[in-house]
Structure 1
Amino acid sequence: MAGNGTTFEVRASRQLPVPVADAYAAWTESDQVTRWWGPTGFTCPLAEMDVRPGGVSLIAMRAPAEFGGGDMYNTWSYGLVEPPHRLEYEMRFATSDGTVIRPADAGIPAGVPDAVPHVVTFEAVGDDRSRVTVVESGYTDEQSRDLSQGGLEQCLDKLEKVLRVTA
């Protein structure tokens, strides 16, 4: 456990084979989010996206059979939305109807905050490429940070692969 109020950050970045507007759309449009959200082996059966300041998206992640096959829900509550360059939102665990629950009630280990701040930025890398960078903060121990880092890396790997196929 981190002492003295210390928290840990998760940070990951990928270069994507599409322009910034397409990378932003992959993160904000329901039909696109369902194609890549979740770590390796997980699927995304639901992404009800309401991407606007004050909007709340509801996203489901379905575990593969070897992990029980259950669905886990999150809400993303948006503060700053600057298309196509920046998103700021707080991720919270939720029930299937979007009711926010504590991480422990979702079977998540201690160390994950009730609300996980996210900053997602999109920048051009030439005319037809972009870079997405995700920063999550507020983890209170290194184990939770490391688990979240691994999951985010796998999500971004899937995003890159999906965009490479459609580019």
Structure 2
Amino acid sequence: MTTPANDPDPDSNRDLVLTRLIDASPEAVYRCWTEPDLMTRWFAPKPWSTPRASVDLRPGGTNLVVMADENGTEYPSPGQYLEIIPNRKLVFTDAYIGDWQPSEKPFFTCVLTFEAEGGKTRYTATARHWSVEDREAHEKMGFHEGWGLCAAQLEEVAKSL
């Protein structure tokens, strides 16, 4: 039996990972994740929408993405950036809502990587959850389907830049 102390990847049972080869440059894909006007064009899986997004792109800076369902009910998702490597990597979390203010219920930290591959971008999104239960809940919410649809929408916007 593997214990957390000797598990080579102790977070593997709390992670959900989506990887896609996107037909756009890493710079374009990164812009889609960091420019609010672009984020509103792809972030929510259709038929949902993203009426608003704001970004303070610096470690410790706030991000806010507001998604809306078909009826217009809004779902704000505040977070905070932890690591930024332009055009290569973004790390943000909902554990804080900005200025190191703790959120009521941390759910996950997102690690995004953008790697050049044959004129395209190897895009990897890792959702690292605080608990196995949170990972399971996110999976049941449709992580793979929803994030997959969003990745396709992201590609379309990135290709247009």
- Tell me the equivalent position of 2:7: none
Normalization by structure 2: what TM-score? 0.78
- Tell me the equivalent position of 1:24: 30
Q: Check whether the contact 1:73–1:93 (CA below 8 A) recurs between aligned residues.
A: no
* Residue correspondences, number: 145
Gaps of 5+ in 2: 5-9
- Tell me the equivalent position of 2:54: 48
Gaps of 5+ in 1: 103-113
Q: In angstroms, what is the RMSD of aligned CA positions?
A: 2.6
| Mapping 1:51-66, distance limit 5 Å | 51-65=57-71
Question: Aligned partners of 1:86, 1:30: CA distance in 2, in Å?
Answer: 17
- Tell me the equivalent position of 1:123: 115
- Deviation for aligned residue 1:126: 2.2
- Tell me the equivalent position of 2:123: 132
Normalization by structure 1: what TM-score? 0.75
Q: Deviations over 1:48-78 (max 9, x none)?
A: 011211111111001113xxx3000112211
- Deviation for aligned residue 1:115: 3.6
Which amino acid in the other structure matches residue 161 of structure 1? E
Structure 2 residue 152 is the aligned partner of structure 1 residue 146: no
- The SS at the match of 1:38 is coil
Q: Deviations over 1:6-56 (max 9, x none)?
A: 853111012222111111111111111010001231111111011211111
Which amino acid in the other structure matches residue 55 of structure 1? G
Q: Check whether the contact 2:81–2:92 (CA below 8 A) recurs between aligned residues.
A: yes
- The change in CA–CA distance for 1:31 and 1:78 in structure 2 (over 3 A counts) is same
Which amino acid in the other structure matches residue 138 of structure 2? S
- The change in CA–CA distance for 1:119 and 1:150 in structure 2 (over 3 A counts) is same
Aligned-pair identity in percent equals: 26
Q: Deviations over 1:57-109 (max 9, x none)?
A: 111001113xxx30001122111100110011103597xxx99444xxxxxxx
Which structure has more relative contact order (CA 8 Å, sep 6+)? It is 1
- Deviation for aligned residue 1:150: 2.8
Which amino acid in the other structure matches residue 151 of structure 1? G
- Tell me the equivalent position of 2:75: 72
Which amino acid in the other structure matches residue 85 of structure 1? R
